[in-house]
Amino acid sequence: MHKFIIRKNFNSTLTNHTTNTGGGIFLHHLSDLHIWQPEKFHQPITVYSLFRNSSFQDWKQIQGYLNIKHNRGPNLYQYSCLKKALQEIGVRCKNDEYSHLVITGDVTNISHPEEFELARNMLNEYFVETIRNGEEFNENLLYEYCSIIPGNHDAYTPSSVTNNYFGHYFGNTLGLYNAMLTSDPQQDPLSAFSQNAHHSNFFLDQRGKNQHLNSLKNSIFESLSMNDLFPNVKILSNAQDGTHVLILSLSSSVPQKPFVAGGVVEQTQLEQASKLMKEIETTFRHEYLKENNDKEVSSNASSLFKVVLMHHPPVERAKDSFREYLNGLEKKSKQRIVEFCDSEKIDLLLHGHTHVPYLGRIGISNHETLVIDNGSTTYVNEEKPYKMARYHSYHIKGKNLVGIEQHVWNTATQVFERKELVLDKV
Ligand SMILES: [Fe+2]
């Protein structure tokens, strides 16, 4: 469990930002990257290496590897799409500090550390470097600029979850590293994380003074399982125009048997999420807004735009019930998510998993939650243009989603073409 409040206008360390002219906050949504670049792996991944280096419980990796070799792989899930998307969104974040990248899972294929490292290197090379643009940029600021959750392919084996590969490479985006920055150097790192520190500008004072961090980082990841990272809450705040976006990151991804890709969200995770959201909302209103005596912003404090990130869709999307059973979110979990979104008044739920874009609504009472599947950001197949590689950009102002941009890959020009997505026509 973890929570943070981020107010970019208070703590941005980059000087080359231009002012956000349109106001509000932009979320840029990528999903289902499935990056695979064998030439960039330190050690070759083969059937033999997977067989030799993993225990029986992890042999599902062999099934996944054969699937990459014979069905999917770098020709179908293309590296160039991800590179371009990260660069484009990096430019948006550089020019508009109220832009934030979200990735709703399936960064990898078989949860191999080589894949996680490749994806993290791409994030650094094409996203972080674009934002940094020669200026100083502490990579731990990643939690300000992006939120990444795991998909079923990132929790492919039991050992990948217990070894917390996802947290090791992407925990920073959930604020894990920053929790350690707030801690006493002598303090036990696990208890430091458990305290759920939520200061957002501490790193300005702490930078350069925390040589103990590397050793802390290693020990904390050994102490935590991937599941300990969720639920995770952060608030992005544009105090200039009173737009405040709460991002709740959930994990629906658990290791499954071969040929099963379904997900589960236990009630305990949602109960913890409700508690965290309540706490951070209270903190947000009292500790920050009253502290700054900003009456105009205070009046908008109750208008948090609430976004949930999860990998599996909360609605049935498969062609038949058997496929839904194998690949979808468990039936009880779907019900839980619908009830949760209704009771917590979630405005927008972003997910991936199906590789087919989708827009729908869920709700029980008068409240409706908009549900959007981005599809895959790297899938290139001209025979299936409806699921061609893409990313979405959502423009949130105040309590409203005022616009959605769809950026769809053009194989001839090798660029993403921007189209406005009109909600009424979906
Ligand atoms: Fe996927």
Cα–ligand 1 centroid distance for 285 (angstroms): 38
Q: What are the backbone angles phi and psi of residue 235, rounded to the nearest 5°?
A: -115, 125
Cα–ligand 1 centroid distance for 33 (angstroms): 7
Cα–ligand 1 centroid distance for 417 (angstroms): 22
Closest CA to 271 of 262, 282, 279: 279
Cα–ligand 1 centroid distance for 108 (angstroms): 9
Q: What are the backbone angles phi and psi of residue 149, rounded to the nearest 5°?
A: -120, 160
Q: What percent of the chain has pLDDT over 90?
A: 56
Cα–ligand 1 centroid distance for 232 (angstroms): 22
How far CA 384 is from CA of 71, 215, 356, 373, 388, in Å, comes to: 15, 48, 10, 17, 7
Coil, strand or helix: which one is 11? helix
Q: Is there a contact between 419 and 425 (Cβ–Cβ < 8 Å)?
A: no
On the question of pLDDT at 283 being above 50, the answer is yes
What CA–CA distance (Å, rounded) separates 58 from 258? 10
pLDDT at residue 168, rounded to an integer = 87
Cα–ligand 1 centroid distance for 263 (angstroms): 12
Residue 75's contacts (CB-CB under 8 Å, 6 or more residues apart) are: 380
Query: Which of the pair, 4 or 215, is modelled with greater confidence?
Result: 4
Name the strands in the sheet holding 400-410, side by side, starting at the edge strand that comes first in the sequence.
146-149, 99-104, 25-30, 390-397, 400-410, 415-420
On the question of pLDDT at 27 being above 90, the answer is yes
DSSP state of 50: H
Cα–ligand 1 centroid distance for 352 (angstroms): 7
Cα–ligand 1 centroid distance for 29 (angstroms): 14
On the question of pLDDT at 393 being above 60, the answer is yes
On the question of pLDDT at 279 being above 60, the answer is yes
pLDDT at residue 209, rounded to an integer = 34
Cα–ligand 1 centroid distance for 235 (angstroms): 27
What CA–CA distance (Å, rounded) separates 343 from 267? 14
User: Partners of 404 in the beta sheet?
Assistant: 394
Cα–ligand 1 centroid distance for 104 (angstroms): 9
Cα–ligand 1 centroid distance for 115 (angstroms): 14
What CA–CA distance (Å, rounded) separates 128 from 60? 33
Give the pair of three-digit tokens for residue 233.
């809450």
On the question of pLDDT at 301 being above 80, the answer is no
Cα–ligand 1 centroid distance for 35 (angstroms): 10
What CA–CA distance (Å, rounded) separates 169 from 124? 11
pTM: 0.88
Which residue bears the tokens 């913890």?
Answer: 272
pLDDT at residue 222, rounded to an integer = 60
On the question of pLDDT at 190 being above 90, the answer is no
Cα–ligand 1 centroid distance for 386 (angstroms): 16
Confidence of residue 288 (pLDDT cuts 50, 70, 90): low
On the question of pLDDT at 220 being above 70, the answer is no
On the question of pLDDT at 203 being above 60, the answer is no
227, HSE (Cβ side, Cα atoms, 13 Å): 15
Cα–ligand 1 centroid distance for 279 (angstroms): 33
What CA–CA distance (Å, rounded) separates 231 from 271? 9
Cα–ligand 1 centroid distance for 323 (angstroms): 15
